[in-house]
Structure 1
Amino acid sequence: MENNITTTTTDSGKTAAIISYFSIIGWLIAYFAFHKDKKTELGSFQLRQTLLYAILSTILYMLLSFVLTIIIIATGILSLIYLAYVLYVVLIVVWLIGLIGAIKGVKTPMPIIGQKAQTMFSSI
Structure 2
Amino acid sequence: MESRKDKTAAGLLGIFLGGLGIHKFYLNYTKEGVIMLLVSLLTCGVGATVMGIIGFIEGILYLTKTDEEFQYTYVDGYKGWF
Indicate the TM-score class for this superposition, using the shorter chain for normalisation: 0.3 to 0.5
Please say which structure displays the higher CA radius of gyration: 1
With a CA cutoff of 8 Å and minimum separation of 6, indicate the structure with the bigger relative contact order: 2
